[in-house]
Amino acid sequence: MIIILKSGATDAQIDHVIERVESLGLRAHLSRGTHRTIIGVIGDESQFEPAQFQVLPGVTEVIRVLPAYKLASNEAHPEPSVVDVAGVKVGGGNLAMIAGPCAIEGAKRLDTIAADVRAAGANILRGGAFKPRTSPYAYQGMGEEGLKILRDVGQKHGMPVVTEVMDPRRVEMVERYADMIQIGARNMQNFVLLTEVGSTKKPVLLKRGMSATIVDLLMSAEYILSQGNPNVVLCERGVKGFDSIARNLFDVAAVPACKALSHLPIIVDPSHATGRPDLIGPCALAGVAAGADGVHIEVHNCPEEAMSDGPQALLPAAYEELAGQIRQLAALLGKSISSPPASKR
Ligand code: PEP
Ligand code: MN
């Protein structure tokens, strides 16, 4: 951390800043220039907030040298992380092909969709049992019964499964059924929930909040990592924009931007980012071209009957076509797509 003093800072003020730095177990390195005096703070700055020094008399600015998202940063871990989702590798040149319905609606429906997306090349099955809905009157999900269906269907088709948890009190339950736990956009800054999933070893799919900055996203990842769970996959799913032509604004630049700052894998979710089947394919391909470590797509075999997010669902045939294009692009980019482990039943 670097503390910059005001041009008229007095010796007493400078001494006071040095005393504060040293009282926190850090070392201070004073450098007096012609116009400005700066104090370099040497020590583990992750334990301190710039604001602690910013308020001292005579201080004009405090600059962090290292990012606050210490564990998520590239500096902590220069190689890209690879997250293993029950045998499916995500990151470091391995693409996740996550697909399935928005919500689990019943065993038969999920089984049919799973068979379709598996045949098309998906390697992780998704489906929500606890749905974050804007309206309390909208379909809320099947709860634990849905989790059981998801696990059984995933096992039948040999696909690891990812599902959302919204409540810290349900983490233990969701963890029993899921191979990967999703933290949805609305809960990206639910710090109690992040801490709870951080205390498991399950891979976590952390979706970017709809008004979260990239640094906010990395700080939320830091909550999980700092609890000892290194298995975090980030997800760009669109942020609030001003144009109602699409559901959200797909921030494709977030992919290379995250990679420039962090070793964590990042995937894209063009379904929630655009909310329009005709925009999902181009945005999925743009995400992969931008360096994404996977794509997360909602697929339904009868969107008109879907309990949630029907209008943005891709039909299985459209998903199959897109998955083929993603495979071609992946080959061009030298990326691989892990096959899911063989069916367990
Ligand atoms: C979902 O994956 O169905 C979902 C609710 O996503 P998000 O949190 O990105 O809106
Ligand atoms: Mn959805």
Q: Helix/strand/coil (H, E, C) string of 247-263?
A: CCECCCCHHHHHHHHEC
The ligand placed nearest to the CA atom of residue 209 is: 1
Q: pLDDT at position 180, please?
A: 98
* Local mean pLDDT, 10-residue blocks, the chain (345 residues): 94 96 94 92 85 95 92 94 98 98 98 98 98 96 98 98 98 98 98 98 98 98 98 98 97 98 98 98 98 98 97 98 98 94 59
Q: How far is the CA of 266 from the centre of ligand 2 (A)?
A: 18
State whether the beta carbon of 102 lies less than 6 angstroms from ligand 1: yes
The pTM for the full model equals 0.94
Q: pLDDT at position 345, please?
A: 43
Q: pLDDT at position 258, please?
A: 98
Q: What is the DSSP letter of 312?
A: G
How many Å apart are CA 286 and CA 118, to the nearest integer? 23
Q: pLDDT at position 66, please?
A: 87
Q: How far is the CA of 205 from the centre of ligand 1 (A)?
A: 11
- Of 314, 265, 305, the C-alpha closest to 83 is 265
How many Å apart are CA 255 and CA 269, to the nearest integer? 11
Residue among 272, 296, 299 to mutate when testing ligand 1 (max atoms within 8 A of CB): 272
List Cβ neighbours of 208 (8 Å cut-off, separation of 6 or more): 185, 188, 214, 217, 234, 235, 236, 237, 239, 251, 254
Task: Give CA 225 to chain center in angstroms.
Answer: 12
State whether the beta carbon of 208 lies less than 6 angstroms from ligand 1: no
State whether the beta carbon of 275 lies less than 6 angstroms from ligand 1: no
The ligand 1 atom at the shortest distance from the C-alpha of residue 132 is 5
Q: pLDDT at position 27, please?
A: 94
H-only helix segments in 304-345: 316-332
Q: pLDDT at position 343, please?
A: 54
Closest residue to atom 1 of ligand 1, CA basis? 102
Q: How far is the CA of 272 from the centre of ligand 2 (A)?
A: 6
Q: How far is the CA of 104 from the centre of ligand 1 (A)?
A: 13
Which three-class secondary structure state does DSSP give residue 291?
coil
How many Å apart are CA 87 and CA 121, to the nearest integer? 15
Q: pLDDT at position 161, please?
A: 98
State whether the beta carbon of 207 lies less than 6 angstroms from ligand 1: yes
Q: pLDDT at position 274, please?
A: 98
State whether the beta carbon of 117 lies less than 6 angstroms from ligand 1: no
